[in-house]
């Protein structure tokens, strides 16, 4: 018998204390927790780590939550970019989900497409991720992975969604959804 689909949390953390803090908060509500420290190729590394966490098994993930920072402009408004890692030596480009990063990843991004369970979703947890180019990034991820991709428009506090929450679907549509609280994902 194969295991029930996993809830996987990927955490953007720059030190051990941050990793331990988030791990303690999420542990009761998660199947697997993957901390990602500062690195220049974090998006590519995250794809490998998530794939390895489930052994590449088809239908293994029910929810993949990427906990990071949404990047903001000078007015502190989200610009629709999600940071998988804080970057290394200022290389934020390859450590974030943004349109040009997704284009560079090309077919490598599709590596995760077969490991999601039916009805699975990806949560891009960070401030203002659904603003600016965010919906386009979300649509591209939804198409590549064949799942719903959610992100908030507002500035959230720790574990809470930053409403309104938008969802992009593999068919290219985007709509506002309620967003599932982190502690009700299992």
Domain ranges of the chain: 6-179
Quick: pLDDT tens for 130-177. 888 889 989 999 999 999 999 888 776 666 776 789 999 999 999 999
pLDDT tens per residue across span 10-39: 888 777 888 888 889 888 888 888 888 766
- Cβ neighbours for 182, distance < 8 A, ≥ 6 positions apart: 26, 29, 65, 125, 159
Q: Of 168 and 1, which is predicted with more confidence? A: 168
First to last CA, the chain: 19
The answer to whether residues 68 and 42 touch, using CB atoms and an 8 Å cutoff, is no
* Residue 10 exposure: Cα atoms within 13 Å on the Cβ side: 29
Name the average pLDDT for the chain.
Answer: 80
d(CA 89, CA 117): 37
């Amino acid at each position: 018998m194969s295991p029930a689909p996993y809830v996987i949390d990927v955490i953007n953390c720059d030190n051990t204390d941050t990793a331990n803090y988030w791990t303690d908060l999420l542990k009761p509500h998660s199947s697997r927790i993957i901390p990602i420290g500062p690195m220049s190729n974090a998006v590519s590394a995250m794809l490998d780590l998530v794939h390895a966490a489930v052994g590449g098994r088809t239908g293994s993930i029910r929810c993949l939550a990427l906990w990071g920072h949404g990047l903001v402009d000078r007015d502190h408004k989200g610009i629709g970019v999600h940071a998988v890692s804080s970057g290394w030596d200022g290389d934020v480009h390859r450590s974030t989900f943004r349109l040009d990063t997704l284009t560079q990843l090309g077919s490598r991004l599709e590596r995760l497409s077969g490991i999601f369970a039916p009805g699975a979703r990806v949560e891009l947890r960070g401030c203002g991720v659904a603003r600016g180019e965010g919906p386009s990034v979300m649509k591209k991820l939804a198409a590549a992975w064949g799942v719903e991709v959610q992100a908030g428009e507002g500035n959230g506090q720790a574990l809470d969604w930053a409403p309104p929450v938008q969802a992009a679907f593999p068919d290219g549509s985007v709509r506002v959804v309620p967003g599932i609280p982190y502690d009700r994902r299992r």
